[in-house]
Structure 1
Amino acid sequence: MRAVVFDLDGVLVDSEQQWDEVRRSVVAEHGGTWQDEATRALQGMSTPEWSAYLVEELGTALTPDEVAEKVVGEMGRRYSEGPPVLPGAVEAVRSVAEHFPVAIASSSPPTLIEHLLEATGLTEHVPVVVSSEQVAAGKPAPDVYLEAASRLDVPPGECAAVEDSDSGLRAALAAGMTVYAVPNPHYPPDEQVVARASVVLDRIGDLPAALGL
């Protein structure tokens, strides 16, 4: 293994519930109807994908661009008050970055990723950041992981991926990476998908030891 690629939401920040809450609010305020399957369907989608879903599938009476502006704007406001960083996440990234090149491959828009890195002092430790907005398809497609590996100049098969969600795990597996699963307790991924991970961790703080650091 020559590099480590981290997901963001659910791995480094406890934000999946906030994304869900904000999207539900925008849908409700603009004439849409939330559906039970929407939360899991949206996980891993890029901003263009989930904003279109809120309009086309849930009936939100806005354009996809307007939906994205409202949701990302509210998430940015919440992050400005202090991103919900998971315990041990910053220390884990710093520890790993002392030994391996590190990247983030996330479904979050670039502005939120950059804000998190700045707020946590991790910018200098993470030289490669890829948002699914910058590739053809969001997770569970492998595109964002393949792009991260390409920018690191490391073959995907020589990268470890750290993921928490069903769609994220599927994306990392499809990219051919060695997968370290940290299952999201709020939205547990499919057990059969988790079983395909090489290592399953209880918390992100356990990652350095799992990597033998």
Structure 2
Amino acid sequence: MEACVFDLDGVLVDSEPVWEEVRRAFVAEHGGTWQPDTQSRLMGMSTGEWAAYLHELGVEMAPDDIARGVVDQMAARYQDGVPLMPGSVAAVRRLAGRLTLGLASSSPRRLIDVALAAAGLTECFTATVSTEEVPRGKPAPDGYLEAAGRIRVAPGECVAVEDSSNGLRSAHAAGMRVIAVPHPRYPPAPDALALAWRVLPDLDALTPASLLT
């Protein structure tokens, strides 16, 4: 492997509970109805995709306004501190000395930059991609393919680190070897987990040795 492309939410930043809390409250406050499968469906969607979906749930606002309102609330929450996943900073720094690093995230660019800066990891990544910057969000491969292009490494020479069903499907569809680090609260579906090249219990297990074939 020449490169490692990380997901952000649920891998480096424990933001999924925050996203769920903020979006669930936003839906309730603006006339929508949160469904039992809403959170799992939202994971991996680009900003435009999830804003349109919340509108379909009955939120009485235009999708652009929904996106702006939710992201503003997320940014405000991040000002109180970015909730890093255990071992995330150490894992990135371990690999940064050995591999080219990229990032393919469904988060808006604004939140990607805030999170990496807060963690002191900005300089570790050769390139970062938000799915706002590509035609389709996860599970489509667009974000991972764009990340591979920006770091100038063929997808087949990249390993991706993911936690969610849509993320695993996205990286696999891009032709990368996928390491799954399942989130304890939001585990991936069995069929998505089956796409993983390796499954690790946590980021402490993500070492250069774990990437050897």
- What range describes the TM-score normalised by the shorter chain of this pair? over 0.9
Counterpart of 1:132? 131
Deviation sequence 1:90-128 (CA, Å, 0-9, x none): 010011010111011000001111001111111111120
Counterpart of 2:30? 30
Which region of structure 1 is more displaced relative to structure 2, 12-21 or 156-165?
12-21
Q: Secondary structure of 1:105's match?
A: strand
Counterpart of 2:59? 60
Aligned pairs for 1:6-155 within 5 A: 6-56=6-56, 58-155=57-154
TM-score, normalised by the number of residues in structure 2: 0.97
Deviation sequence 1:6-54 (CA, Å, 0-9, x none): 0000000111111011111111001111111211111100000000110
Cα deviation, residue 211, structure 1: 2.6
User: Structure 1 stretches of 5 or more lacking a match?
Assistant: none
User: Is 1:202 aligned to residue 204 of structure 2?
Assistant: no
Aligned residues, how many? 211
Q: Distance in 1 between matches of 2:183 and 2:139?
A: 16
Q: Percent identity?
A: 57
TM-score, normalised by the number of residues in structure 1: 0.97
Q: Secondary structure of 1:25's match?
A: helix
Cα deviation, residue 196, structure 1: 2.1
User: Structure 2 stretches of 5 or more lacking a match?
Assistant: none
Runs of 4+ in 1 over 4 A off after TM superposition: none
Q: CA RMSD in A?
A: 0.9
Deviation sequence 1:177-206 (CA, Å, 0-9, x none): 010000121111112221221110011121
Contact 2:166-2:192 at 8 Å conserved across structures: no
Q: Distance in 2 between matches of 1:73 and 1:142?
A: 27
Q: Distance in 2 between matches of 1:193 and 1:42?
A: 15
Q: Distance in 1 between matches of 2:86 and 2:165?
A: 22
